Structure 1
Amino acid sequence: MKVRRVFDIIALALTAYFAVRGLVRPEGNGQILPYAAVALYIALTFAALYITPRADAGRAARAGSGLPRWAAYLVLLGCALLPLLVSRYTPPEQQTASHATWYLGAVGAVLTIMCARHRPVPAWIGIGILALESSLAIGLVPALASGLMGSAVWVAVAQLLMVFTDRAYRDTSRLAALQQATSAWQASQAVRRQERRRRIQYALAVAGPVLSRVIAAEGALTDEERVQARLAEGRLRDELRGARLLDDDVREAINAARLRGATVTVFDEGGLDDIEAGDLDAVRHELAETLRETDAARIIIRTAPDPRVAVTIVGRSAGGEGLTEEDDLQLWREVPRPGVE
């Protein structure tokens, strides 16, 4: 059984109990005011229980979603009128009788519902008004003994339960978010491991025959076999370090650059992880076109951490390894990230 349903059953049971107390009177039910008072009490209870906001997405999952502010103060006004109505039709000598003090518990029950529905301030204002009106009608001590103390305790317990429930709800939501983030991270790691295995298998399929030939010939290779071995080595490095930079078009362009004698170095440091597949294809296409157009002897391809740049392509002439004067810059190309103007 849901918590809200249990909450409703308890509230309706108390409503029936206090309604019977309000109607059972020693002089009979000839007056209309007792019926009006009980009807007002029932209306207040149903308003406090079932009026909901038009949009309550933040608390819809919890039992007893928030009572609208306007409804809370409307119920508070009715709770302030109920003791006055009961005192009006009750004779002075019967003001402390059980059938005359039923409003103390009844109003307390309504205010408890209000507090449980995240309106503690109007609930405590209602307790203050109830204490003032009952003290003026029968005195503070008789009022405390007849149900005022119990009403205040109910509201206090409801507020404590509301605080603890809200804290548990926040902790549960935070735990669910952490679990969701952990599951997403584990899934991404599994995808990356699968991608790395696929690339390694591809690289071994390309380089395996050449490596087998090197081992079988004990390094005594022909010039053509040496070229194939150098290309296979480059492909193996690309597959291990290139990650998302490579597709068939890019591989073909890199292979063509190496066949003409260029040194191509590929680094993927994760700068493309958040780019969608369609946009990534466009980045790869531009990379392949750039490689076909350049005649640089040394080409460095690197994913960029810059939020505006996806890939940086640097091409240099056949100079020294460092950035010396003779190591002239021939190519500098930044492929922008998709969607960046």
Structure 2
Amino acid sequence: MISVKNVLVVLAVAFTAYLAARGLSWTGPITQPLVVVVTLAFYLATTWLCIFWEPASTRSTPPPAPSPATGSRAEDDAKTAVDGIRGPVRLPPIAQVLALACAVIVPSAISVSVGADARTAPFATWYLGGIGALMTIVMVRRRPWTAWTGIVALTVASMLWMGPVNALALGLVGSIVWVTCAQLLVFSMDRAARDTSRLTRLQRAATGWQTSQIVRQRERRVQVQKALAVAGPVLTRTVAHAGVLSDPDRLEARIAEGKLRDEMRGPRLLDDEVRAELERARRRGANVTVLDEGGLDDVDDEQLGVIRAQLADALRSATSDRLYIRTSPDERVAVTVVGRSPSVAGPSDEDSVDLWLEIPHPGRA
């Protein structure tokens, strides 16, 4: 599979191999050819190790997202993967040390092995571009301090062996520019990845908000339809009679109001049987309050059916003047039914409790 990463890897390998090959194209005698060959081999091995080596953990799974508990290392590793957007992986410490050693050893080894007369020849100055390319790779692999330390080592060694003017004229400036551009490129890439991640999260949040609004609109339409079905006939008669209602019409209005309150306050407690018992209680004159405070949010439909059946049975046998039906926050109790009626002992400021029923959660009692 051809990808941008694979193309860049091939270019990096080819370019570093070309720079190293320049070191073998001797145009004159050198004092220690074996040292030159060994130095070139060390340079190529280190460079290609920095290109290809990725820890097994980063190949199998992306680094964790940054958190206060994981510290700065996790924050650095998280730069390589932002919401699935993966960038260059951090260079392992061993390769980092080898790259620094290469930046320190190669310039001096080449300068000594070719002899004083050939230190400014093209086959002896290849390390200016070679070490610059290596430090560029190190910078892309997210080791900026190592890359700049290597550039400093290259600058000091090259100026000592061939003089500041020759070092700057033969390639040192280009190496510094490469590393600078690489740092800017990595910074821009990380910023683009963060912006893309932020936009992705905003898009997901906007989609979720839009979906919730659609769901709420549908729920409101359903509630409006139910309200029209319940209160429509009563409102029609009220308008037709100019607000002058008979006692049966007033009773129907109170029942319609109660039904609407039930649908808004406790929809999960209701089914056809419960609605029928609530209407029967209101027709006999009881004041009924239904309230769902979220205690049934995690209950499935089968368990809700059992709870509703027990609630309907409780309402069927209830004779209280006031009925309070509400969900319970207790883990074992699903619904509490309380009935209150005037005290039979005589006048009193408070009604007496003549019904107390706790409907348990199925399977938790």
In the superposition, the TM-score normalised over structure 1's length comes to 0.75
By how many angstroms is 1:75 displaced? 2.8
1:124-143 alignment runs, 5 A limit: 124-143=148-167
Aligned to 1:46: 48
Kindly tell me the number of residue pairs found equivalent between the two proteins: 332
**Residue identity in the other structure for 1:20:** A
By how many angstroms is 1:239 displaced? 2.4
Aligned to 2:24: 23
1:82-231 alignment runs, 5 A limit: 82-205=106-229, 223=248, 227=251, 229-231=253-255
- 1:284-314 CA distance string (max 9 Å, x none): 865774675475544455679x898998868
By how many angstroms is 1:165 displaced? 1.6
By how many angstroms is 1:155 displaced? 1.5
Q: What is the alpha-carbon distance in structure 2 between the residues aligned to residue 256 and residue 28 of structure 1?
A: 114
By how many angstroms is 1:213 displaced? 6.9
**Residue identity in the other structure for 2:43:** Y
Contact 2:285-2:321 at 8 Å conserved across structures? yes
Q: What is the alpha-carbon distance in structure 2 between the residues aligned to residue 249 and residue 50 of structure 1?
A: 71
Contact 1:242-1:267 at 8 Å conserved across structures? yes
Contact 2:339-2:356 at 8 Å conserved across structures? no
Aligned to 2:263: 239
Partner of residue 317 from structure 1, selected from 340, 344, 347:
340
- Residues 50 and 236 of structure 1, relative CA distance in 2, 3 Å threshold: same
The unaligned stretches of length 5 or more in structure 2 are 64-79, 343-347
- 308-317 or 51-60, which deviates more: 308-317
Aligned to 2:104: 80
- 75-84 or 167-176, which deviates more: 75-84
- Residues 312 and 146 of structure 1, relative CA distance in 2, 3 Å threshold: farther
The unaligned stretches of length 5 or more in structure 1 are none
Q: What is the alpha-carbon distance in structure 2 between the residues aligned to residue 336 and residue 78 of structure 1?
A: 75
Contact 2:341-2:353 at 8 Å conserved across structures? no
- 1:129-180 CA distance string (max 9 Å, x none): 2223323322344323322232222222211222222122112111211111
**Residue identity in the other structure for 1:148:** L
1:55 and 2:57 correspond: yes
Aligned to 1:8: 9
Q: What is the alpha-carbon distance in structure 1 between the residues aligned to residue 45 and residue 326 of structure 2?
A: 71
Contact 1:257-1:291 at 8 Å conserved across structures? no
- Residues 181 and 99 of structure 1, relative CA distance in 2, 3 Å threshold: same
Q: CA RMSD in A?
A: 4.2
In the superposition, the TM-score normalised over structure 2's length comes to 0.71
- 148-157 or 285-294, which deviates more: 285-294
Q: Secondary structure at the match of 1:38?
A: helix
Q: Secondary structure at the match of 2:8?
A: helix
Aligned to 1:37: 39
**Residue identity in the other structure for 2:259:** R
- Residues 185 and 103 of structure 1, relative CA distance in 2, 3 Å threshold: same
